[in-house]
Amino acid sequence: MFIPESLLQKEKDHVEGFAPEVAWVTHGGLSPLAERLCVRPTSETLFCDFYSKEVTSYRDLPKLYNQWCSVVRWEKETRPFLRSREFLWQEGHTAHATAEEAKERTELMLNVYARFCEEELAIPVIKGKKTEKERFAGAEATYTIEALMHDGKALQSGTSHNFGDGFAKAFGIQYTDKNNQLQYVHQTSWGITTRLIGAIIMVHGDNSGLKLPPRIAPVQCMIIPIRQKAEGVLEKASEIKDALAAAGVRVKVDETDKSPGWKFSEQEMRGIPVRVEIGPKDIENGICVVVRRDTGEKLEVSIDSLSEKIPALLEQIQKNMFETALAHREAHTYEARSYEEFCDTIQNKPGFVRAMWCGERDCEDKVKEDLSATARCMPFDNNEPIDDKCVCCGKPAKHLVIWGKAY
């Protein structure tokens, strides 16, 4: 968890990027330390130190590690889930014999994250490459997935970095190849964080609370008994629960002594995708009310068909949540061909702006200063030029860039 100050300083760009925002341990017990330790803001230097001792032969490669841990970055402004000083993340680190393998791994992991966001979290993302200014400190290339929140702000939702052999040279990580020649390794790292919980809230939620995508909802269906003290109600609820569980649904009965109305609101707030209401009359008629959290729609479903209908409904909700989020993003993605149009859009239409860029840092700095907006990425898909001039300075354009204000 700790990085000695001297170790953090080994890779020049890396220390410049991170040193201003780390927490420093200066005392152990009652004594001051001889060397300050920073609480890891990310673990590349620790893995590099480890590789430099562990890797000697081509036989030791590739190395592939993953860890779940908390890291600390001393942010000035914080925001729950989206930007906190301590956050839990998953960080993967690899070392490869060749540059090509490292590039493949960087792309592979970006695709893993993109698929996870889209298929499990129902959050559409744009895959692309960061500009040099926005790149991870010490990386040769940073790939990113960018999502749009419901308020039109962008959220960097996962990154995958290709370090080339930069860290290997700074830390002396070399291996003997099959021809007995010393070579530097090529490294990658990649991570996603609990920030994605914020993304789920900000993409899907509404004023009544969370809306959890069914695939990740810990409880997918809550059965709420009406007049639960009446004979047979809890028994029937429990019977339905067993049938749904057998059909693979994560299901619970809310048997607490709260009123049904309170339970409805509470389970809505918690984002449970589907609720089933079951009371004496429903049991008599063999029909109950099923309520979708995503649309609020109420359906009458025969009790006998619940274990067939609910799993299908959950799939439908998952799909609808993704499509709703995608439609929202598309409705809030604009194009700009002049700086005036660009400024007007950024200032008045929250969302993504697609515009051309010359490749110069100066233009990114100007956009940041004028508009507090940043280059989110140079997208991998839909990146046909829409103009031949930079939207900012008018010089020849090099890349289509997705711009936006970000969390």
Contacting positions for a second copy (CB under 8 A): 1-2, 20-30, 37, 39, 59, 68-70, 72, 74, 85-86, 256-258
Alpha-carbon distance 402 to 291, whole Å? 38
Based on CB atoms, which residue is closest to a second copy, 75 or 132?
Answer: 75
Q: In the complex, what is the shortest distance from the CB of residue 191 to a second copy, in angstroms, rounded to a whole number? A: 17
What residue ranges in 226-304 does DSSP mark as E strands? 251-253, 274-278, 287-292, 298-302
Q: Using alpha carbons, select from 43, 52, 89, 84 the residue that is nearest to residue 189.
A: 43
What residue ranges in 73-106 does DSSP mark as E strands? 86-96
Other Cβ atoms closer than 10 A to 395: 14
Based on CB atoms, which residue is closest to a second copy, 257 or 388?
Answer: 257
Based on CB atoms, which residue is closest to a second copy, 25 or 99?
Answer: 25
Alpha-carbon distance 1 to 135, whole Å? 24
Write out the two tokens for 287. Answer: 């029909």
Based on CB atoms, which residue is closest to a second copy, 264 or 380?
Answer: 264
Contact, 58 vs 20, CB < 8 A?
no
Q: Which residues pair with 159 in a beta bridge?
A: 144, 191
Write out the two tokens for 127. Answer: 């895959």
Q: In the complex, what is the shortest distance from the CB of residue 310 to a second copy, in angstroms, rounded to a whole number? A: 27
Q: In the complex, what is the shortest distance from the CB of residue 26 to a second copy, in angstroms, rounded to a whole number? A: 5
Q: In the complex, what is the shortest distance from the CB of residue 262 to a second copy, in angstroms, rounded to a whole number? A: 11
Q: In the complex, what is the shortest distance from the CB of residue 215 to a second copy, in angstroms, rounded to a whole number? A: 23
Based on CB atoms, which residue is closest to a second copy, 84 or 187?
Answer: 84
Q: In the complex, what is the shortest distance from the CB of residue 361 to a second copy, in angstroms, rounded to a whole number? A: 24
First to last CA, the chain: 26
Q: In the complex, what is the shortest distance from the CB of residue 46 to a second copy, in angstroms, rounded to a whole number? A: 11
Based on CB atoms, which residue is closest to a second copy, 37 or 122?
Answer: 37
Contact, 403 vs 355, CB < 8 A?
yes
What residue ranges in 194-258 does DSSP mark as E strands? 221-225, 251-253
Q: In the complex, what is the shortest distance from the CB of residue 205 to a second copy, in angstroms, rounded to a whole number? A: 21
Based on CB atoms, which residue is closest to a second copy, 63 or 389?
Answer: 63
Q: Using alpha carbons, select from 99, 94, 122 the residue that is nearest to residue 109.
A: 94
- Burial pattern 286-320, b for ≥16 Cβ within 10 A else e, equals eebbbbbbbeeeeeebebeebbebbbebbeebbee
Based on CB atoms, which residue is closest to a second copy, 72 or 392?
Answer: 72
In this structure, the dihedral spanned by the alpha carbons of residues 125, 131, 136 and 137, taken in order and rounded to 10 degrees, is -170
